Chain A
Amino acid sequence: MTVARFWRRIPQRYNLVGTKCNTCGDVFFPPRAFCPHCRRGGDLQEIQLSGKGKVLTFSVVHSASDQYSDQKPYVLAIIELEEGARMTTHIVCEPDEVYIGMPVRSVFRVLDEDGTDGVIHYGTKFVPDE
């Protein structure tokens, strides 16, 4: 990822800022500029998401790309946030801990880094909410 592409996304990656359509009430993360349901009738505004949600489904990744190979096996999941938005994210836990419906909460972690001399990409992951 280029440096500029990362820093443009810092607000959404660090703080889970999404968008909500005031017309239909749907919440989007990553944020959308346009409501796919209401189209021209949509009215989007930024919303701070709570960071609480539950696991809808998950995979345990054993064959990872280079930047994540030092973390394998790791859990990649689709979660549904309290506000209704769904997102793909890492769940930081042992592969045998995760289950469908597991409550999760957001944490601040390193997502990846551009080599040992490049930018460190921070962002949001999720952990079991005990």
Chain B
Amino acid sequence: MVGIITYGAYIPRYRIKVEEIARVWGANAAEISGGLGVFEKAVPDYDENTATFAVEAARAALARRAVDVSEIRAVYVGSESHPYAVKPTAVTVGEAIGATPVMTAADYEFACKAGTAAIQTSMGLVASGMMKYSVAIGADTAQGAPGDALEYTAAAGGAAYVIGNDDPIAEINDTCSFTSDTPDFWRREGEDYPRHGGRFSGEPGYFKHVESAAAMMMERRGTRPSDYDYAVFHQPNAKFPQKAAKTLGFTPEQIKTGLLAPRLGNTYSGAVPLGLAAVLDVAKPGDRIFVTSYGSGAGSDAFDITVTEAILDKIDRSKAPSVESMLAKKKYLDYAVYARHKGKIKV
């Protein structure tokens, strides 16, 4: 069955605390952290962007398992912060992992769910027999306008998945999506920062799509929340996934491992891929994982995943850094240096 052959993650080492951002903008830090459940977020280095995250994550995946890169025939990178408006990030990844030139490649954009869209595309290509391996990546250096509500959470990071059906470490039993034209968050061509529908982005955006896709998946599979060991939901903050999980009937214990937002922020296209990577870092054979992403605009992709015996003997998870180890290795920036890192200071 089609599934995850190997996986890799990347989180940059810099952080800024929500209270430091609040200090600059005269906001109440305790109220913001309390409302979002986010205390700090990851910030890229000067010389990092979505392409460097994607390459580091893909190389981490290949370090864990010796995949014949000549059999990788597709690379898809999902992001809303591709370094070029025109010129694919995916070809840089393909070149950097040695998979070029006999492969196809494209960049995806669907707000925060472009990474899971890449996983779905890869599943189709592999399951149809068109290729042995396809690489799906979700990575972002998310943008938030200075002082905007998004600035407290817009973070940086990504994860990569090699999809195939040759002894996967986790089988993807099923996937389904729920999609509609809902303008809850957008960025127009040429604009530096996105705009959003504020508090209206919750109910008609996140909750409607996540809960519908999740319910549809459990109906298709004939499962209940208690059938799963772990659940990962898109995490624009820590509160939304907790609320959606509760409504659907998942326990705080089930979502704890994949809930990175309090210490990482919202890595947009990287968020669900990183949450799933954190689960795979500790998962055992037989563990069942429920995953639902969300991308504004809007849509959700749900996945039902079962970890296999191959996670014990076909990959060496210690050959690449775990999500937890990258979250622990951090250096705090003040707002001024953070603004310089993010290119917010125009000279």
List residues of A whose CB falls within 8 A of some B CB. 10-11, 14-15, 70-71, 92, 107-111, 120, 122, 125
**CB <8 Å contact, B96 and A110:** no
**CB <8 Å contact, A14 and B95:** yes
A71 to B96, CA, bound (A): 24
Instruction: Contacts A108-B56, A110-B49, A120-B83 known; list 12 others, CB within 8 Å.
Output: A14-B95, A14-B96, A15-B96, A70-B46, A92-B45, A107-B56, A108-B52, A120-B49, A120-B51, A120-B84, A122-B55, A122-B96
B interface bracket (residues with beta carbon within 8 Å of A): 10 to 19
Name 14 interchain pairs, CB-CB below 8 A, sorted by A: A10-B95, A14-B92, A14-B96, A15-B96, A92-B45, A107-B56, A108-B55, A108-B96, A110-B47, A110-B48, A110-B52, A120-B49, A120-B83, A122-B96
Q: Determine whether B132 belongs to the interface, using a CB cutoff of 8 Å to chain A.
A: no
Query: Do A109 and B84 form a contact, CB below 8 Å, given A14-B95, A14-B96, A122-B52?
Result: no
Q: Determine whether B340 belongs to the interface, using a CB cutoff of 8 Å to chain A.
A: yes
**CB <8 Å contact, A108 and B59:** yes
Query: Do A15 and B98 form a contact, CB below 8 Å, given A108-B59, A110-B48?
Result: yes
Chain A contacts for B51, CB-based, 8 A: 120, 122
Chain A contacts for B98, CB-based, 8 A: 15
A125 to B45, CA, bound (A): 13
Q: A64 to nearest B CB, angstroms? A: 12
Chain B contacts for A120, CB-based, 8 A: 49, 51, 83-84
Chain B contacts for A109, CB-based, 8 A: 45, 47-48, 52
A39 to B235, CA, bound (A): 60
Q: Which residue of A lies closest to B49 (CB)?
A: A110
User: Which of B47, B84, B92 lies in contact with A125, CB distance below 8 A?
Assistant: B47
A11 to B98, CA, bound (A): 9
A125 to B96, CA, bound (A): 13
Q: Which residue of B lies closest to A90 (CB)?
A: B47
Q: A37 to nearest B CB, angstroms? A: 30
A108 to B83, CA, bound (A): 15
Quick one: which of A14, A71, A107, A108 has the most chain B CB within 10 A? A108
Q: B324 to nearest A CB, angstroms? A: 15
A110 to B47, CA, bound (A): 5
Chain A contacts for B340, CB-based, 8 A: 70
A120 to B49, CA, bound (A): 11
Interface residue ranges of B53-109 to A (CB < 8 Å): 55-56, 59, 83-84, 92, 95-96, 98
